[in-house]
Amino acid sequence: MSTLDKNMSLTSEAPDNINTVQKIGTFIGMLGLFIIVLAGFNVGLPNKGLWLTIALTALIAGIALFAKGTYKNKLEGIKNDGVWFKSISSRGYLAWIAGVGLTGFYIVLYFFAELLGLGVNGAENTGVVALFDPLSRLLSGNAASQWFVYGTLYTVAILAFGIKFLMKYKHNRYEQLRTVSVMFFQTAFAFMVPELMARLNSDSFSLPYNDLKNMWPLNYYAFEQWRVDQFINAETIGLVFLLFGVLSIFVVSPILTYKYGKRWYCSWVCGCGGLAETAGDSFRQLSDKSMSAWKVERWVIHSVLVFSLVMTVATISTYLGYDASKYWLTKDMFLIGVAVFLGLLFAVIWYFKKEELAKDARYGAIGYLVVVLSLITIHYLSGKELFLFEAGKLRSLYGFLIGSVFSGVIGTGFYPILGNRVWCRMGCPMAAILGMQQRLFSKFRITTNGGQCISCGNCSTYCEMGIDVRAYAQKGENIVRSSCVGCGVCSAVCPRGVLKLENDSMNGRIDSNQILLGNDVDLMDLVNKN
Amino acid sequence: MEHIVIIGNGISGVTTARHIRKLSDKKITVISAETDHFFSRTALMYIYMGHMKYEHTKPYEDYFWKKNRIELKRGFVKTVNHQEKQLEFTEGDTMSYDKLVIAVGSKSNKFGWPGQDLNGVQGLYSKQDLDALEEYAPNNNTCKRAVIVGGGLIGIELAEMLSTRNIPVTFLVRENSFWNGVLPEGESEMLNRHIKNHHIDLRLGMNLKEILSGENGKARAVVVAETGEELPCDVVGLTAGVSPNIDFLKESGIELGRGVKVNRFLETNIPDIYAIGDCAEQHEPIGNRRPIEAVWYTGRMMGETLAQTICGNPLEYKPGHWFNSAKFFDIEYQTYGWVFANKKEYETHFHWKHEDDTKCITVAYHKDSKLFLGINTFGIRMRHEVFDRWLTEKRDIDFVVHNLSEANFDPEFYKKFESQVLSEYNNQSVSV
Ligand SMILES: Cc1cc2nc3c(=O)[nH]c(=O)nc-3n(C[C@H](O)[C@H](O)[C@H](O)COP(=O)(O)OP(=O)(O)OC[C@H]3O[C@@H](n4cnc5c(N)ncnc54)[C@H](O)[C@@H]3O)c2cc1C
Ligand code: SF4
Ligand code: SF4
């Protein structure tokens, strides 16, 4: 062991060497970054539009060229050589630099936007934000904000690293299609459409910034008063959007998740997932696969879900309460409705799927339900704005802890250290809901191919969600896990063709029997009897 | 409490231990000279290639063993004394057992070549082999060229490993086409081309004569028997097969052939001593199987069977339909049932190859009854469950070719080739 480790570090240089095309790519990409940094130092760049175009083009071209240098002259196949030798992908020096840099960026972005040059109190933008003004004006007609800067860079990252991913997986059409899909949804739905829609806004008419695919509870402010009010005031269009938001939660998502599993959202549509799958692809092997990590995951993610649920209910009921004349739904109706809905949902799960829930899942479910219902009851009985906590404070606490720190600073900033899906795995309330459905009411599963598994561990290593895929595959079991985002990488990297993502009938989907084919049939009966 | 001692912590020993624990409360000890914990030997290549670290190749977390009361002992068993029911280790300590399971696996073949014990000459079987490779072939400065001797599954894995560190590889293969003792011609030839596409210097029909020594007892060059050519190199990989790792049992009184001789209950000639996995040799081959089956799946199946026997439910080793799989650089291979390179007298083949030269299938069937005998598939994943069923149901080739799509296991959205296969089949049937 010790000699091996010593040598490993010495040798890292061999597979890590970069070729000429990669060098040129690095140079061009760095140039793009450099321009943005220069702007940050308020170097007076004339013709910002031109410089911004150069910077963004250089970023995309640099990354794409680097990828080309990496994968050209290589035959189609799995490209994981040297992943654990390279500093950036094995928590080495470069990874820590990248992690610290990204985290710093997020902290500035969320809490010190002035540092980026955001003009406060009507002042002109300066610095980086000013560099992005021309593009923002072009799209929405307004000056840029730090969020516009972020949105643009985010989209650029998904596009550039998406191109890289397409080259890396040129032999795998599943990977290609879903990558094109996230690139499209990010560019069109998250970036262009909301900006263009903002053009429609005037003094008498305004729509909230609306990314149609960004559903509650991932979009935790979806039902806040100012948004709902704006929607209602915008009449037909607004109501259509509001209705679409509600329908997508209660109708569209359940149907799609039933048919295809949560992957339809997490690996094909979602922006967080999109960034994780493209820019974060080099870090997927860093996720923690231990049993203890799985336990933590289940408690944390479901607690976030309960938090976001309570927060949203509190927020909505507050404005329903003090402005009752405006909405046909009264606060009482709303609260009772939520309680009945949750109670029913729980009853249905309990009735149909009790056997499929592990012991801690049952305790957890009961515990959470009791907490939520008692909060609602207290609130209902005590009247007033009390939800034990004041709704507004709850909302800002959530926004700070979950919306900023968890999803941004930790979730993305720590990519190179904790892996690319920490947020999706531990923190996303949307993933919690979809996951619950995927586990209990969905046709999706990963089928294990009889007895072919050789326990090599590639699948588990490259599962970004930290699922120990091998633990199931080597027993001949299908993989049906709430956290699986259906990225398909476990199936891609398996050297023995053992795994296939499928939508098939619900019957026999979860089969904890050992069906290691090739064995004596009588023996298998015996093994399973136990 | 009965003490079950298992020598070997590979797939066969560990499977036995796990299943004994499921079935009983017996005391279990697993001994290994190789590593503290069970790891997947089949994944050795991925450690060297940087796809995984050693930790990732362990199928169970380290706490697993204690939790399941499976004791682990690191040490090399020097002798087995079956009269006293006692093992002796090289360190001098001893251990008593009530029942003994020999699951000691294989070692790389060395056929007495001059120079075979020089530094830098090695097989690829154990964790120690991997460490040695890391020492002698860390990169292409230290190892300017490697020569691999023996064209089987491990040889080609070694070639792939070295090529990921840009080390030039010369691959000496005794046969006149890669692995053609097992694979039919069309497949074997496709693989020859694929190997060369990966810039491996493939030398078919070539044998090793001797390995020349440089300074410090390190290999300097290899001499080819057929041409007398001297190939300078820093590492020589000996991958001409494996054989049971049973030298330490020579004086034990346990009946040995090439491996430890066992009956269908996996019992040796000595009561309370069993042998499984790579090191077990059946008195009589089972069906078309070889008496020694050095594959992962066999170790696993034997382990499950033996656990039943040891826990009071004597069970014969009765494997189902044969299957296996491998990967040749980028081309995955699976096989179900029997397809022989040297066709049996009753056997005929249908072969289809895709024009991109990375996918093909060969279906073996009975020339008179058309009974489906087996399939080899390259570059297309197929369903184990379906072929297992078709073999049991004794389907014929027509049925198999017409229903091939049911067996497809490729990821979603992949191109399908069933119609091409079918029209090729119809063409060939007409022309016959
Ligand atoms: C590189 C490589 C790739 C492979 N790929 C595949 C594949 O893709 N598919 C497949 O089916 N098979 C594959 N195999 C074969 C497969 O790994 C073996 O068949 C299987 O591991 C054998 O398991 P086993 O438990 O019988 O023995 P082993 O795994 O060899 O375990 C035996 C253990 O016993 C220890 N031991 C031996 N003697 C003593 C002693 N006297 N005292 C103490 N300990 C001792 C050894 O050190 C070893 O740890 C591959 C093998 C190699 C080397
Ligand atoms: S189990 Fe497979 S498909 Fe699911 S998230 Fe993990 S790697 Fe992706
Ligand atoms: S990658 Fe494939 S063979 Fe390896 S452990 Fe996973 S399922 Fe088994």
Architecture of domain A444-529: 2-Layer Sandwich (3.30)
- Which B residues, 174 through 203, put their C-beta within 8 Å of a C-beta on chain A? 197-198
Q: Is the CB of B167 under 6 A from ligand 1?
A: no
Task: State CA A445 to chain mean position distance.
Answer: 20
For residues A253 and A434, the answer to whether their CB atoms sit within 8 Å is yes
Does B168 sit behind a cis peptide bond, omega within 30 degrees of 0 on the bond before it? Answer: no
Please state, in angstroms and rounded to a whole number, the distance separating the CA atoms of residues A98 and B140.
Answer: 29
Taking chain B, what is the end-to-end CA distance rounded to the nearest angstrom? 67
Q: Which amino acid is at A213?
A: K
Q: Which residue has the tokens 């700070």?
A: A400
CB B61 within 8 A of CB A291: yes
Domain B3-107+243-310, CATH:
3.50.50.60
- The pair of structure tokens assigned to A199 is 């053009």
Q: Residues with Cβ within 6 A of ligand 3? A: A 453-459, 469-470, 473-474, 494, 496, 498-499
Establish whether residue B311 lines the binding site of ligand 1, counting it when its CB lies within 6 angstroms of any ligand atom: no
Residues in chain A: 530
Q: Which CATH number is associated with domain B323-427?
A: 3.30.390.30
Nearest CA to ligand 3 atom 6: A459
Residue B192 C-alpha to ligand 1 middle, in angstroms? Answer: 27
Task: Give the separation between CA A479 and CA A472, rounded to whole angstroms.
Answer: 6
Range B284-307 average pLDDT: 95
Q: Nearest Cβ partner of A456 from B46, B164, B388?
A: B46
CB-CB contact of A232 with A417 (8 Å) = no
Least Cα separation, residue B338 to chain A (angstroms): 13
Amino acid at the residue B135: E
CB atoms within 10 A of CB A359: 7
Which ligand ends up closest to the CA of B87? 1
Q: Looking at the complex, does the CB of residue B388 fall below 8 Å from at least one CB of chain A? A: yes
Question: Whole-angstrom Cα distance, residue B201 to residue B172?
Answer: 9
Closest residue by CA, ligand 3 atom 1: A494
Chain A within 8 Å of B40 (Cβ-Cβ)? yes
Domain ranges in chain A are 12-73+112-197, 201-442, 444-529
Q: Which two tokens stand for residue A277?
A: 């799958």
CB A456 to CB B42 under 8 A?
Answer: yes
Q: Which of A449, A454, A461 to mutate to test the pocket of ligand 3 (most atoms within 8 A of CB)?
A: A454
- From the CB of residue B190, how many other CB atoms can be counted at a distance below 10 Å? 23
CB interface of B with A, residues 398-417, below 8 Å: 409-415
> One-letter amino acid identity for B57?
T
Residue B302 and residue B16: Cα distance in Å, rounded? 8
Separation of CA A428 and ligand 3 centre (Å): 28
- Interchain CB distance below 8 Å, B320 and A7: no
Query: B76-120: per-residue pLDDT in tens?
Result: 999 999 999 999 999 999 999 999 999 999 999 999 999 999 999
In three-state secondary structure terms, B222 is strand
Q: In the 8-state DSSP scheme, what is residue A479? A: B
Q: Which contiguous run of DSSP H or E holds residue A244?
A: helix A235-247
Cβ contact (<8 Å) for B40 and A454? yes
Tell me the H-state helices in B116-152.
127-136
Cβ(B332)–Cβ(A496) below 8 Å: yes
A-proximal residues of B, 116-135, CB under 8 Å: 130-131, 134-135
Please compute Rg for chain A using Cα positions: 25
ipTM over 0.90: yes
- Give the Cα separation of A468 and B81 in Å (integer): 41
Hey, which of A172, A260, A469, A494 would you mutate to test ligand 2's pocket, going by the most ligand atoms within 8 Å of its Cβ?
A469
Dist. CA A415 → ligand 2 center (Å):
17
Sign of the CA dihedral with B51 first, then A470, B183, and B10 last: positive
Q: What is the pLDDT of residue A389?
A: 67
Are A68 and A19 in contact by the 8 Å Cβ rule? The answer is no
d(C-alpha B186, C-alpha B198), whole Å: 19
Residues of A in contact with B22 (CB under 8 A): 530
- The C-alpha torsion from A191 through A194 and A199 to A201, rounded to 10°, is -150
DSSP secondary structure code for residue A119 in this structure: P
| The pair of three-digit structure tokens given for residue A359, joined into one six-digit string | 């012991």
Contact at CB, B164 and A501, closer than 8 angstroms: no
pLDDT (0 to 100) of residue A194: 86
Inspect the interface and report whether the beta carbons of B139 and A14 lie closer than 8 Å.
yes
Asked if B330 lies within 8 A of A76 by C-beta distance, the reply is: yes
Q: Give per-residue pLDDT as tens, B36-46.
A: 999 999 999 99
Closest alpha carbon within chain B to A463: B56
Q: Which residue in A7, A84, A455 is closest to B52 by CB distance?
A: A84
* pLDDT by position in tens, chain A (length 530): 333 333 333 344 444 578 999 999 999 999 999 999 999 888 777 889 999 999 999 999 999 999 999 998 899 999 999 999 999 999 999 999 999 999 999 999 988 998 998 988 888 898 999 999 999 999 988 899 999 999 999 999 999 999 999 999 999 999 999 999 999 999 999 999 888 888 877 776 777 777 778 888 888 888 888 888 888 777 787 888 888 888 888 999 999 999 999 999 999 999 999 999 999 999 999 999 999 999 999 999 999 998 888 888 888 887 777 666 677 777 788 888 888 898 898 888 888 887 777 777 888 888 888 888 887 777 777 665 555 567 778 888 888 888 888 888 888 899 999 999 999 999 999 999 999 999 999 999 999 999 999 999 999 999 999 999 999 999 999 999 999 999 999 999 999 999 999 999 887 777 655 556 666 656 666 666 64
Alpha-carbon distance of B193 to B178, in angstroms, equals 10
Is A173 in contact with B415 (Cβ distance < 8 A)?
yes
Contact B364, B395 (CB under 8 A): no
CA–CA dist A444, A439 (Å, integer): 9
Please give the CATH number for the structural domain made up of B121-240. 3.50.50.60
For residues A464 and A426, what is the distance between their CA atoms, to the nearest angstrom?
Answer: 12
Residue B58: per-residue pLDDT? 98
* CA A132, A135, A141, A145 torsion-angle sign: negative
Mean pLDDT of all residues in B123-148: 97
Question: Pocket of ligand 1, candidates B30, B34, B242, B322: which has the most ligand atoms within 8 Å of its Cβ, to mutate?
Answer: B34
Q: Is the CB of A69 under 6 A from ligand 2?
A: no
**CB-based contact, B431 to chain A, within 8 Å:** no
Quote the mean pLDDT of chain B: 97
Rounded CA separation B36/B34 (Å)? 7
Give the tens place of pLDDT for each residue, B185-238. Answer: 999 999 999 999 999 999 999 999 999 999 889 999 999 999 999 999 999 999
Q: Where in chain B is the domain with CATH 3.50.50.60?
A: 3-107+243-310, 121-240
Q: Check if the beta carbon of residue B348 is closer than 8 Å to that of residue B338.
A: no
Q: Residue B44 CA: which ligand 1 atom is closest? A: 1
Predicted local confidence at residue A517, as pLDDT = 60
What is the structure's pLDDT at A516? Answer: 63
